[in-house]
Amino acid sequence: MLRATALIFLFATLGSVAAQQQDDDRYRIGPTDVLDIRIHNRPQLSREAVRVEGNGMIRMPLIDTEIQAACLTEGELAKEIATRYAKYYRNLQVDVFIKEYHSKQVAVIGAVNDQSRFELQRRIRLLELLTFAKGPSAKAGQTINIVHSTATSPCKQSNDASDVGSLFSSYKLSDVLRGDPASNPYLEAGDIVTIPEADQVYVVGNVFMPLTIPLREPVTLTRAIAMAGGLKQDTKKDKIRVLRQEPGASTRKEITVDLSAIEKKSSEDLALLPNDIVDVPTSAGKSFLRSLVQGVVPGVGQLPVRVVP
């Protein structure tokens, strides 16, 4: 149910964002793409299965120099080819079709519902790509990161690999899902999108639903117990244990919390930290007595009835 609701929200946001976009979303040819180039009434010039070289260039008959195909749309490349042939033929009609898409692969990994690699056949923004990955999973944290390819792109004037800022981008997941333009960039070939899992806390012991809670926002002890369905009978409320791993330590320290005092506002609620384990204990005496009664009473009901004269 949670996943379905998240996807509905994601698609709704995507629809409103798409309606506002003014940018050119058309696919731009890249290295290793395969093209069909058809020149009307000039079959000797037409070419099939033209692979774009690693430097983004192609060659055509009668034209001495290479033609840059990378970074152009099909229509732009067709116009460029017609211009190159203008000294031989006037008013050539040229059509370019992308036969095979190879240059624009991106990957989505981490806390998404469908980790995959995607071969893009048009320009695509981050939010839309998330819909193809079926949205963030229940374990998703608060950030989404893009690791950019270090390969030299023919579309860029420069690509300084020493510039760390150009190799890594990070956004708040909530801003991306909201469709904030500043957090919804176009993806480039070789990008790897990753959503780290949220830090977690664990609630175990005498609660109705022991569970793991992702720390997407601050969570207190009382809230964590409520999320676990609340306390069962015979809980020792003044001895709630929180096991905490201190940074750099190999063992956990134990924090004892009086839940009754928190409920009476005489003690401050404890803010939980990543990897805390909340252990809710039972009152040993009451628990033993209850199990004894529950075990004995049904057995008594099975005994034969005798009359005492």
pLDDT tens-digit map of 42-70: 999 999 999 999 889 999 999 999 999 99
Whether 289 shows a pLDDT value over 70: the answer reads no
The CA distance from 206 to 270, in Å, is 19
Q: Residues 3, 9: contact at Cβ < 8 Å?
A: no
Q: Any long-range contacts for 81-84 (C-beta under 8 Å, 24+ apart)?
A: 81/37, 81/39, 84/60
Residue-averaged pLDDT of the chain: 82
Q: Residues 85, 63: contact at Cβ < 8 Å?
A: yes
Whether 256 shows a pLDDT value over 60: the answer reads yes
Which residue did the predictor score with more confidence, 288 or 187?
A: 187
Tokens 């401050």, residue located: 268
Give all domains of the chain, ordered by start, each with its CATH number.
34-100 (3.30.1950.10), 104-195 (3.10.560.10), 200-287 (3.10.560.10)
Mean pLDDT of 71-95: 93
Please give the model's pTM, rounded to 2 decimal places. 0.60
> What are the phi and psi torsion angles at 203 (to 5°)?
-120, 120
Whether 226 shows a pLDDT value over 70: the answer reads yes
Whether 20 shows a pLDDT value over 90: the answer reads no
Whether 295 shows a pLDDT value over 80: the answer reads no
Which residue did the predictor score with more confidence, 192 or 304?
A: 192
| Helix or strand holding residue 286 (H, E) | helix 284-300
Most confident of the ranges 16-30, 197-211, 291-305 = 197-211
